[in-house]
Amino acid sequence: MTIGEDIHAQRILILDFGSQYTQNIARKVRECQVYCEIHPCTIGIQKIREFKPKGIILSGGPGSVLAEDAPLLDPVLFDFKIPVLGICYGMQLITYLNDGEVNPAKEREFGRAELVLKTFSHLFNGVKNNSIAWMSHGDRITRLPNGFKITAFTSNSPVAAMEDPVRKIYGLQFHPEVVHTQEGGKIFENFLYKICGCDPVWKVDSFAEYAIQKIHDQVQNGKVLCALSGGVDSSVVAALLHKALGDRLICIFIDNGLLRMNERARVVDTFREHFKMNLYVVDASKTFLDRLKGVTDPEQKRKIIGNTFIEVFEEEAQKAGDFTFLAQGTLYPDVIESVSFKGGPSAVIKSHHNVGGLPENMKMELVEPLRELFKDEVRKLGRELGLPDEIINRQPFPGPGLAIRIIDEITRDRIRMVQEADKIILEEIKGAGLYNEIWQSFGVLLPVKTVGVMGDSRTYENVVALRAVTSTDGMTADWVHLPYDLLGKISNRIINEVQGVNRVVYDISSKPPGTIEWE
């Protein structure tokens, strides 16, 4: 058995019915060190057979099985003798397709509920009684399908969990994949290990070997071009490809003049000096800044930066030589979003361009070694490959760089102010031991000036807004309750050390209604 066959031999198929939590299901399964893939519920029975899953999970969904256009499945699935776990909509679908009865609930159940275990179930083995589960549903089971029994209930859901232990079909009205469900992890372990018979073989060190093998199979004697930004994804891609191909990997780093302070030197030191990679460094800052002159609209900034990146990258790629392959840091969430069920019968196609929107006419075959991984798995792989913590644990940095943290026209002086403020913010947050607990922390230069007093003189200078948020995926975020003394220290340092700034404010907006970045 090859490495690839070994780590994929025991895999779980997740059928997506449009739930906002489907990725959470996959993450929970991966945390149990079992490989899984998400596919739209429309893939068909033949594709499911070909997948050869050890178990199948039916996700929740925003609709009702009673709706005219409700997404359904071929009931023959339940005769495959493969364990099935239906979550929320998935449970109602199991009921509906097996001649049970589903009806609208008198009261929609949303939020925390106390889960009362009624009878023994392998799914709840070791799960504490009266634990908290997270509910989010408008329909309920009013008559069980033949062969099923109730295994748990809540005050508002007489059937919070059900099962047919003979056919190994299980249903949960609540969401075990969200953090609010206290015993969710244990429930997944029971389903994967005890019911599906999976072993925890999905590990990063195994994946590294498998990915290198795949790279060799795809690239053979060819050369690969990689756009290296210094962020987590592109850095891990570069390290993995370098381990697989050595000098047949060429990396291009483009300095657009909108990077953090000393970012270029940091990338050169890590990848050229430490890892001994073939790294082309391109200083295109004048080109970018000239094209941004006079531009204040954030969308226009993004388009100019994206188009200029494409132009510069194409030009440098031609100089670097003849390449057959282009590396991209596509992650599994990108793949899921590219072919995903969004409440309708057809797939929604979304393009992901992880190296700045590179055009198809470059005629290079894509190499995407991370396309099976989530972000946390990418970080683990980076550590396995020897990347420094400074890169692995770094907070997200926007593609357009500091351009969207200057709420006005881009000038070199304004870039300097944001870079210096950013350096102070990160230094103090790291010094307080909070860096790894925060999703993003940065400064924004506002398009206003305020009166101040410095020494014996009146000043009329710029304002920096400090932003620090917690998040798990960037989709939602909450502001961080930074200690007052830390806020004071950051403010004091910025005002004293950053020439041109005389006031610091703290942004306490959440997402929604705000966004993480200001532009």
Residues involved in catalysis: 88, 175, 177
Residue 237 is assigned to a ligand binding site: no
Residue 229 is assigned to a ligand binding site: yes
Residue 234 is assigned to a ligand binding site: yes
Nearest to 56 by CA among 94, 95, 11: 11
Residue 230 is assigned to a ligand binding site: yes
Three-state helix/strand/coil letters over 407-425:
CCCCCHHHHHHHHHHHHHH
Question: Which amino acid, 373?
Answer: L
181 phi and psi, to 5 degrees?
A: -85, 110
Residue 455 is assigned to a ligand binding site: no
Nearest to 176 by CA among 98, 116, 123: 123
DSSP E strands in 368-475: the ranges are 440-454, 457-470
Helix, strand, coil fractions of the chain, as percent rounded to 5: 35, 25, 40
Residue 231 is assigned to a ligand binding site: yes
Token pair of 472, please?
Answer: 């798990």
Cis peptide, bond prior to residue 40, ω within 30 of zero: no
Those residues whose C-beta lies under 8 Å from the C-beta of residue 411, and which sit 6 or more positions away, are none
Are the beta carbons of 171 and 162 closer than 8 angstroms? yes
359 phi and psi, to 5 degrees?
A: -75, 155
Q: Is 357 exposed, middle or buried (0-12, 13-18, 19+ CB in 10 A)?
A: middle
Residue 443 is assigned to a ligand binding site: no
Could you tell me which residues are annotated as the binding site? 229-235
Could you tell me which residues are annotated as the binding site for ATP? 229-235
